Chain A
Amino acid sequence: MKPAFSVLFFTVTSGIGYGLLMWLVAMQLLRGQVGELQNFLIVGFIGLTLATLGLLSSTLHLANPKNAWRAFSRFGTSWLSREGVFSLLYYPVILIYAYVLYTNGGELTTAIKVIGVVSLLIALATVICTGMIYASLKPIRQWHNPLVTPLYLLFSVTSGALAYSMLGLALEGSLSHLASNAFVILLLTSLLMKVIYFKSIGKPEGSTIGSATGFTQAQVRLLDAGHNADTFLTKEFVFDAGAMKLLRLRWLMIILLFVVPLVLVVATYTFDVAPAVYFAMVSLYLGLFAERWLFFAEARHVVRLYHGDQRA
């Protein structure tokens, strides 16, 4: 599948935004106190801005955005519709949470806690829907994989943890140790899951040119695709980056997304190098872009079987 920048930016950026907001609310609920109200509002604003920028970017790839408002109408069947509904529903809930908390002078009452938990659930649901949009597509076996949605969720929560810890340093002068520790554990979990994912998509399986044409007992070879210029199908589905480039990008992704942030965050434990988390965040963000680019570039839609591929 052709990686579209607007979709990469959307899933990475709003993933971090929702992750950060989840950490912000969850830490307040866990501690039972809000801390500095001004800092809460700043972190909340940053999280919501990231989520919103991502969502706005996702509308850029629509060919007919004037009908985008209709996308909330098929909640019952469409994961894209569900994502739209949850992402929109999140705004009033988190804004009410922030407003009530602010007017209440930062005291967490039971009612506010309930609103906080609801906001957490909606943020989780939004990210899960993003993953399910891809995981529900049967013609793309690299996406129709049980690890795809958990990975989307993990990357959101992991990047949110680092962003939360980093903003703690920026605003309060110290890293959040809980978030840093959680980040290390979550990052290692996602590394393990990503490696298992790579292993599980490694071998061709499922549809072949034989099942695509019905000649299951024969050798089939495309002679002529019927057109001599690109079509919508070839432009949308036939994307070949080259095996070597993909392999190099996998290593680059592992270094940027996992190795560098891990080393830098662990370094803050023993040395007095807290500002290293800023570099960790930059590396993680670039790594997530590489991860999302690969997610698209390595996905092979079965329509490719009608354009010369032998196996899916």
Chain B
Amino acid sequence: MKLGLVIDLDTCVGCHACATACKQWNTSGTIGPLSDQNPYGKNPNGSWLNRIRTYEVKESLADQKPPSANQQSSCGSDKFDLYALATKGESALSFVGVNSATGAPASKTVHMPMSCMQCEDADCVTVCPTGASYKRAEDGIVLIDQDKCMGCNLCSWACPYGARELDETQGVMKKCTLCVDRIYDEKLPESERQPACVLSCPTSSRVFGDFDDPTSDVSRLTIERGGKGLMPELGYKPTNRYLPPREKAEVPAMVKTNQPALSKLKKWANRVIAR
């Protein structure tokens, strides 16, 4: 099994429900507590296993390349890059075009939640000197044995995704467990055997499943929508996939025309009378 998450960047609204639900579940879960420093003060901070960042994404006018070049650079021999296979040669960001009326590049706000990618080649595990960090052979979940960690921070340095955070109160490293204490709990109804972040997502932007099973939702979505792993160039082989925003019909820009003064007066009069 290769358990992981698919996150739909098209529907994520950046509400932080996943992060809050994660913190709520895991603070009393296997790696809890997740301590906070100064929670009601001026600079509240603490350990979070999931963080949501918001980006502006717009088509680059300066770097525009012909489609064939796009295809080569984003596809190439990188089998891992399913996104390129699914885009069928279109620009990787064809959903943000140029506004035909104004000619200005259309941009999009993208919310991007990030937690542990459950990498196949997880350097955070190999650099750990104590053996506290480990990757489970049976389902690929990367975990930290809280009783063995000495808080040297080296695993957080080895992680390119910022998935590991030191708990300042306890002095040990924390990370996403993919809610290992939920997903196998047979006392829960089957529909609830999912990570807390997935259950709490109001727009169902998060999907949990087995990437080794080609019929699972996560595998199907990855193929259909061109799910993409982040920073493939570092070679960590992250399991989690991000679905790019869908292509949407262009919303026509409202064009202001110069109307004669008389018709403006008529419109104004009609509005006043209608009241």
Contact = CB atoms under 8 A, between A and B. Distances in A.
Contacts of A229: 42-45
B148 A67 contact: yes
Given A217-B91, A219-B60, A140 B157 contact: yes
Given A70-B131, A223-B109, A138 B53 contact: no
Interface residues of B, number: 73
Contacts of B160: 138-139, 207, 301-303
A218 B129 contact: no
B186 interface: no
Interface of A: 1, 61-68, 70-74, 77-81, 84, 133, 136-140, 206-207, 209, 211-227, 229-233, 236-237, 301-303, 306
B57 A211 contact: no
Nearest to B94: A217
A291 B30 CA distance: 42
A82 B233 CA distance: 27
Interface string B145-167: 00111111110111111100110
Given A224-B54, A231-B48, A303-B162, A217 B74 contact: yes
Contacts of A230: 43, 45
Interface string B163-174: 001101011100
A222 B112 CA distance: 11
B244 interface: yes
Interface of B: 16, 19, 42-45, 47-48, 51-60, 63, 65, 70, 73-74, 83, 91-93, 96, 109-110, 112, 114, 123, 125-132, 147-154, 156-162, 165-166, 168, 170-172, 228-236, 242, 244
A80 B127 contact: yes
A80 B70 contact: no
Contact of A63 (B53, B110, B171, B230): B171
Contacts of A79: 127
Given A71-B129, A237-B162, 7 more contacts: A62-B151, A64-B170, A67-B132, A138-B158, A206-B234, A218-B57, A218-B96
Given A214-B242, A219-B57, A78 B128 contact: yes
B123 A222 contact: no
B45 A227 contact: yes
Contacts of A224: 53-54
A284 to B, nearest CB: 28
Nearest to A63: B151
A61 B159 CA distance: 19
B128 A219 contact: no
9 A-B pairs closest in CB distance? A63-B151, A63-B171, A81-B129, A64-B171, A70-B130, A67-B150, A64-B151, A229-B43, A217-B92
Interface core residue of A80, A139, A222, A232 (most chain B CB under 10 Å): A232
A214 B153 contact: no
A214 B228 contact: yes
A213 B129 contact: no
